[in-house]
Chains A and B, each alone.
Chain A
């Protein structure tokens, strides 16, 4: 990791650090050597590794990608409608982070990344996306082959856990890519007259509702078009963030992301279910932290 420390040397503030880290990743400086078979790292539990093996995959290494793109502070204060600059910064940060991951797994025989943890931070000056996950590759059985027989044209990135990946694939569906839509919309300020006139009344604030709808529609439409681009037919486990931007109260943020999926088997296969009733009592676990 000496290359990384050199890259950070002499940089005074966080933004430069992140930018530097991003480019270090992109150029492959930080990517560990994966030529040796012994270099396995993973943040998966033992159960998840077993489950992956059951569908013919094995973990390769922990990979991560960072994208940090600056935003002009002024865009939060003035304007109407969509804040295009903030939107562009987010999408650029996301694709930089995804590219960083793809660069890291490019050198290895990995076919994709599971269990990606998505961290999205928005500050007045920048939009940051950090992705961390475990890359996986087909495992070899005794005969030297693998029973994972799906061929991905390019590495997949999914925020579904390894467990979810295994369960989904037994039904014939596979993740394709992490997709996201974001929109920031200036909510129009109400006139003083309107505010005073409505102070005591029950009334829908249609201008705010419309701003929120604009944000939502822009974000959802963008995400749907990303699903089309990667050839997905669906989106699972969508996460939605819907709130006023903390440092600009008149700007509404609508952020949605999830994993685009596609059925690659000839047909959906239903898992065999049985209902069970666990009869164990709650297990008491020993906590080392209680010693102090």
Chain B
């Protein structure tokens, strides 16, 4: 096939061709499968992208709070490689989108500062023949579960893209004098508070920029993760992740279903 992206390995293309013939693979649960079918999408295949990446070295100044731009760049770059490869596989299948995307980082023991960045999800295609790709012409991506996807579609919204922002930040150590002077006192450690605020703001701002780029009107299912990975206590990655959503054209009259309240006899 001539339209296989050059970035995809040869074997992947052969496997994806087999999927195009009608078989699907998916890591959706039975419930999720039925819910995705219910809103008019059919799974095409489990799509994956990964990148094993060596993260460069950068040390923060012992006493200053600052973003470690080189590490931020590494975390961005590697995740984008993984996401793009997953999107390419979905594109190759002719998918309208990818649901249930999981974005993971695994640190392996075979190399210092090396990590596997992996994106896995299930590519889906609309059964009504319409295209549900996002503003950029790419399949939408979303980390919403099948249940959340169903609920979102009921409200007249569609996912546009999994958006993220990251910031690797070095939080200053406190000087000896400062520490000694405060022993025994109740007080806010302002430099720590300030550093955490700055880093979170940077990560969230970057995520919002990504959401704007795909024309999303909001981000749902957002979460903020703080991880030190292998950098020690004072270097922290702030990662904000969520699904950018926009109202589906022609869904103006749609209102979400009103739930029936129940008292269950479970347990």
Contact = CB atoms under 8 A, between A and B. Distances in A.
Contact of B262 (A198, A202, A243, A277): A277
Given A171-B37, A209-B52, A285-B267, A258 B27 contact: yes
Contact of A275 (B111, B257, B263): B257
Interface string B1-40: 0000000010110110011001111111111011101100
* Chain B contact patch, size range: 35 or more
Contact of A268 (B12, B37, B114, B118): B37
Contact of A271 (B38, B53, B54, B78): B38
Contacts of A84: none
Contacts of A277: 259-262
**Main DSSP-derived SS at the A contact region:** mixed
Contacts of A249: 108-110
A202 B30 contact: no
Nearest to A285: B267
B74 interface: yes
A209 B51 contact: yes
A283 B267 contact: yes
A236 B26 contact: yes
Nearest to B110: A249
Interface stretch (A25-33, A127-135, A225-233): A225-233
Contacts of A171: 34, 37
Interface stretch (B42-50, B90-98, B129-137, B180-188): B42-50
Interface string A192-233: 000100111111110011101110111011011001100011
Contacts of B77: 202
Contact of A238 (B25, B31, B37, B57): B25
A55 interface: no
A212 B43 CA distance: 24
A153 to B, nearest CB: 19
A287 interface: no
A250 interface: yes
B116 interface: yes
A249 B38 CA distance: 44
Interface of A: 160, 164, 167-168, 171, 187, 190, 195, 198-205, 208-210, 212-214, 216-218, 220-221, 223-224, 227-228, 232-240, 242-244, 249-250, 258, 268, 270-271, 273-280, 283, 285
Given A202-B54, A249-B108, A276-B261, 17 more contacts: A167-B31, A167-B34, A202-B56, A202-B77, A212-B52, A221-B18, A224-B25, A233-B22, A235-B46, A237-B27, A271-B38, A275-B259, A276-B262, A277-B259, A278-B261, A279-B261, A279-B262
30 contacts: A198-B54, A200-B57, A201-B56, A202-B54, A204-B51, A204-B52, A217-B9, A217-B11, A220-B25, A224-B15, A227-B25, A236-B29, A237-B27, A237-B28, A237-B30, A243-B108, A244-B108, A249-B108, A271-B34, A271-B38, A273-B35, A273-B38, A274-B257, A274-B260, A276-B261, A277-B261, A277-B262, A278-B262, A279-B263, A280-B264
> Which 9 A-B pairs have CB atoms at the shortest separation, nearest pair first?
A217-B11, A208-B52, A164-B30, A277-B259, A275-B259, A238-B27, A202-B74, A235-B25, A202-B56
Interface of B: 9, 11-12, 14-15, 18-19, 22-31, 33-35, 37-38, 43, 46, 48, 50-57, 70, 73-74, 77-78, 81, 106, 108-111, 114, 116, 118, 120, 151, 154, 257-264, 266-267
